[in-house]
Amino acid sequence: MSSEYVIVGAGSAGCAMAYRLAEAGRSVTVIEHGGTDAGPFIQMPGALSYPMNMNRYDWGFQTEPEPHLGGRVLATPRGKVIGGSSSINGMVYVRGHARDFDHWAEQGANGWSYADVLPYFRRMESWHGETGDAAFRGNDGPLHITRGPRSNPLFNAFIEAGAQAGYPVTPDYNGQQQEGFGAMEATIWKGQRWSAANAYLKPALKTGRVKVERGFARRVVIENGRATGVEIEQRGQIVTISAAREVVLAASSINTPKLLLLSGIGAASHLGSLGIPVVADRPGVGANLQDHLELYLQFASRLPITLYKYWNLWGKAMVGAQWLLTRKGLGASNQFEACAFIRSKSGVDYPDIQYHFLPIAVRYDGKAAAEGHGFQTHVGPMRSVSRGAVTLRSADPAAAPRIQFNYMSHDSDWDDFRRCIRLTREIIGQDAFKPYYKSEIQPGLALQSDDELNGFIKEHVESAYHPCGTARMGRRDDPTAVIDPECRVIGVEGLRVADSSIFPRVTNGNLNGPSIMVGEKAADHLLGRTPLAPSNQEPWINPNWRVSQR
């Protein structure tokens, strides 16, 4: 079994690469441990709380007890299914802020500044927004981007409240101006989840140049310093899938570093302690682990207009039946239809807080709906300085890796979250919410002091499921970098990484968009093409950022 390219992981970046390589006439084998993405739990946007909590679709990773959160163990879902995490995520589409990518370039990722990546964001998308700047958006790419109908009045109340509190309103946070309140965008098309599998992999398979091998990747086969294939377990047998040209790891920011380590690429001391022969001493493998944390701030509604009226067996059955028959109705939306990106204080030059607004008070895992009608904001800081690591528990490929984020390990993390709570209370207190606001469910207005808020944060902060950074891109002479700006693993020939592992720093917002962009751009590097010409579009930065928070 041999192809020119072998890609490990049929996720956001892997699917995009397979599509572009096939388009260029190359043969590709994609290795995926998970099974089919068929069925309403994945394809119906309104069912998003189900797949990430199903063993069938999720790797089921968990953190080690987090020392700064009182030993709490947090879930770290990653997609184990065709489409990877793009098949189990919340479908929210955020590119990231222009400054995020400029920071990547400053950290040694030459050719990955905003000017460099904007053409790839444009190439990959078909944008269906009603307002915004077409110069920043694409209209003929495989990835369809839409906005929800915002028919529930709470969505517009949230945007209006932001304006009343003195924040900008942005027509398109993925265009020139991220900062402000506005409509949220989603990878949903014609009422269906528009995952990387639907956008990229299925069309690629139809070319006949891409095939998917279902199997559990154990390690990269490296001969005389060059990657020649991938060893997988398939139906109880251990077989090698050979790559005539190159191997690409696109297995997630958790499984990619795990595979690198199992293949002898990583910190020599860590590998030596497990008896794994060292192929390349790269201490950055598994290090630099980052994520976004968020709080669910919940409020009781005065009017019975929230989604709570469907939060029962009969209501869910009706929504599901309407979706199955028509691909319309509440099931056709992820219900994240309004959002905001704001700055936490003056002196911060671009947004460092993100809001998702939801017209029901419920947990991400679909469990505890607050009793009765309510609404909530998911809010969290974007640029925590806390860093963790993914390491091996043992040299056995079947063992789950050890994941330690070191969440909330800096005083600034606690200060950032207290600001998030206080700024949210001010926004929800605006006149736009007067007809709807009844009371604060959580944290509850009894909690006001720093110590009281810290206690709430420690108990209730949750991952937004945006892990990244564990195979950082940088200069070839940077000892902490794992890959160079062409996505080549430093110290090994014929091996690249292309997924959220390569992010030098986490981007603003959700990671599916930038992960797909990485796959798109990496494909050009694999093909030896000159990258797309840099853009000269200038992003908007608040002119008063030095002196004003809004």
Q: At residue 255, what are phi and psi to the nearest 5 degrees?
A: -80, -25
Q: What is the mean pLDDT of residues 271-285?
A: 98
Q: Which of 20, 171, 82 is closest to 517 using CA atoms?
A: 20
Residue 258: pLDDT over 80: yes
Q: How confident is the model at residue 367 (pLDDT cuts 50, 70, 90)?
A: low
Contact 491/280 with Cβ under 8 angstroms? yes
pLDDT of residue 14: 98
For residue 392, what are the CA distances in angstroms to 160, 272, 275, 480?
48, 12, 12, 18
pLDDT of residue 525: 98
Q: What is the mean pLDDT of residues 404-424?
A: 98
Q: 3-state class of 533 per DSSP?
A: coil
Does residue 466 carry a catalytic annotation? yes
Is 221 annotated as belonging to a binding site?
no
* CA trace torsion 367, 469, 345, 435 (10° rounding): -20
pLDDT of residue 365: 65
Q: Which of 197, 415, 139, 153 is closest to 305 using CA atoms?
A: 153
Selecting among 33, 144, 466, 525, the annotated active-site residue is 466
Q: Which of 339, 385, 344, 337 is closest to 151 using CA atoms?
A: 337
Is 152 annotated as belonging to a binding site?
no
Q: How confident is the model at residue 366 (pLDDT cuts 50, 70, 90)?
A: low
Residues 6 or more apart from 280 whose CB is under 8 A from it?
Answer: 264, 265, 266, 489, 490, 491, 492
Rounded Cα gap, residues 387 and 455, in angstroms: 22
Is 288 annotated as belonging to a binding site?
no
| Domains of the chain and any CATH numbers | 2-64+74-527 (3.50.50.60)
Cis ω before 485 (30° cut-off from 0): no
Q: 3-state class of 92 per DSSP?
A: strand
Residue 276 is classified by DSSP as P
Contact 479/486 with Cβ under 8 angstroms? no
Number of H helices and E strands in the chain, helices first, is: 13, 25
Residue 332 is classified by DSSP as G
pLDDT of residue 133: 79
Q: Which of 213, 254, 216, 197 is closest to 60 using CA atoms?
A: 254
Q: Which residues pair with 79 in a beta bridge?
A: 58
Is 124 annotated as belonging to a binding site?
no
pLDDT tens digits for 280-301?
Answer: 999 999 999 999 999 999 999 9
Residue 113: pLDDT over 80: yes
Tell me how many degrees the CA angle 459-430-335 measures, rounded to the nearest 5.
Answer: 60
Q: Which residues pair with 354 in a beta bridge?
A: 341, 380
| Torsion sign across C-alpha atoms 363, 366, 367, 368 | positive
pLDDT of residue 364: 60
pLDDT of residue 131: 73
Q: What is the mean pLDDT of residues 63-86?
A: 98
- Edge to edge, what strands does the sheet with 185-186 contain? 125-127, 143-147, 185-186
Q: How confident is the model at residue 541 (pLDDT cuts 50, 70, 90)?
A: very high
Tell me how many degrees the CA angle 62-297-506 measures, rounded to the nearest 5.
Answer: 50
pLDDT tens digits for 193-244?
Answer: 999 999 999 999 999 999 999 999 999 999 999 999 999 999 999 999 999 9
Q: How confident is the model at residue 132 (pLDDT cuts 50, 70, 90)?
A: confident
Rounded Cα gap, residues 346 and 169, in angstroms: 18
Residue 415: pLDDT over 80: yes
pLDDT of residue 260: 98
pLDDT tens digits for 143-197?
Answer: 999 999 999 999 999 999 999 999 999 999 999 999 999 999 999 999 999 999 9
Contact 344/549 with Cβ under 8 angstroms? yes
Instruction: Tell me how long the chain is.
Output: 550
Rounded Cα gap, residues 175 and 532, in angstroms: 19
Rounded Cα gap, residues 256 and 61, in angstroms: 14
Contact 59/254 with Cβ under 8 angstroms? yes
Q: Where are the alpha helices (DSSP H) in 11-86?
A: 12-23, 40-43
pLDDT tens digits for 297-351?
Answer: 999 999 999 999 998 899 999 999 999 999 999 999 999 999 999 999 999 999 9
pLDDT of residue 129: 86
Is 89 annotated as belonging to a binding site?
yes
Average pLDDT, the chain: 96
